[in-house]
Amino acid sequence: MKFLDLCKVYIRSGAGGNGCISFRREKFIEYGGPDGGDGGKGGDVWVEAVDGLNTLIDFRYQQHWFARNGQGGMGRNRTGKDGDDIILRVPVGTEILEEDEETVVADLTELGQRVLLAKGGNGGWGNLHFKTSTNQAPRRSNPGQEAVERTLWLRLKLIADVGLVGLPNAGKSTFLAATSNARPKIADYPFTTLHPNLGVVGIDGGEFVVADIPGLIEGAHEGRGLGDLFLGHIERSAVLLHLIDGTSGTLIEDYQTIVSELEAYGAGLADKPRVTVLNKIDALDEEERTFLRDELEAAGARDVMLMSGASGEGVQEVLRALRPHVVKLRKIEADALRGADPEEDGTWTP
């Protein structure tokens, strides 16, 4: 299945049916009076977050979503049939944006969440509604309300607890494969990962979701390499895991490149908690490990950890360092749902 995280759709609700002008005509009934029915209501356009989807590829092949119009009213006081609603089923984490790609219409972050995008038009009144004591044979009816048309953008931001960042070939996919059942492509050339991958990681009886995104390079915010198109998938994460290739000859430059790209992207990524890890230490001796860690900490990195995704050394310690950040964010979200103040509730401890 191809991965697609941004697409444009054209939606239109159903127009309401027109009211009917009709008079009762039966044998032996001289003055039957008006019996025109009302028009049916047009269908609505809804969007719903459903389970089992992690891409918007379905909207690549169907961009136009039109609800049915309401049926017109009929004689004998018969109301027209309502138009059927239409539902856009999207993955959890999808944002609905206006045509300007900036104004957020809705953000579907919970399974089963539904939002009305375009309301169907009401049906028009038939002439029966206009009958009065002084106008007992009205020849007047209302047209149905017009349909609502909108052009919208759907943008998918995957729901992940931990976001992996680093230069190409920093070992992100190897780490994800070593800690979860995910099987991302792994090779010895840059940009092996072309789209985000998700993996569920377990540690000390708990689980959290890790997102591996394509590697960043200097100038990614200007569109170099694969650009920063995929950074949106880690905006919702609780913590970032910054992997640095310990065998690189430009260690400090690699670290500063990623930090600069996160700051240039914005959206609060530079302010998120970040765990910095010196990866591929299986190729380094003890003296080299200590020297490189000291170099990174002197460059501004905090509490640099050592790890080898290939051999598994230090992996469990890194997962344990990530878990408190995930637990804390989940606690804050749970407090927000029940209306508690996370600052006043001091029951949580990492």
Q: Is 159 annotated as a binding residue?
A: no
Q: Is 28 annotated as a binding residue?
A: no
Q: Is 13 annotated as a binding residue?
A: no
Q: Is 195 annotated as a binding residue?
A: yes
Q: Is 215 annotated as a binding residue?
A: yes
45-50/206-212 β-pairing: unpaired
Q: Is 192 annotated as a binding residue?
A: yes
Q: Are 68 and 25 in contact (CB under 8 A)?
A: no
Alpha carbon distance 229, 54 (integer Å): 16
Q: Is 2 annotated as a binding residue?
A: no
Q: Is 184 annotated as a binding residue?
A: no
Q: Is 77 annotated as a binding residue?
A: no
Q: Is 59 annotated as a binding residue?
A: no
Q: Is 299 annotated as a binding residue?
A: no
Q: Is 171 annotated as a binding residue?
A: yes
Q: Is 170 annotated as a binding residue?
A: yes
Q: Is 280 annotated as a binding residue?
A: yes
Alpha carbon distance 269, 259 (integer Å): 10
Q: Which residues pair with 243 in a beta bridge?
A: 277
Q: Is 246 annotated as a binding residue?
A: no
Q: Is 309 annotated as a binding residue?
A: yes
Q: Is 39 annotated as a binding residue?
A: no
Q: Is 221 annotated as a binding residue?
A: no
Q: Is 250 annotated as a binding residue?
A: no
Q: Is 247 annotated as a binding residue?
A: no
- Residue positions forming the annotated binding site for GTP: 166-173, 191-195, 212-215, 279-282, 308-310
Bind-site residues: 166-173, 191-195, 212-215, 279-282, 308-310
Binding residues for Mg(2+): 173, 193
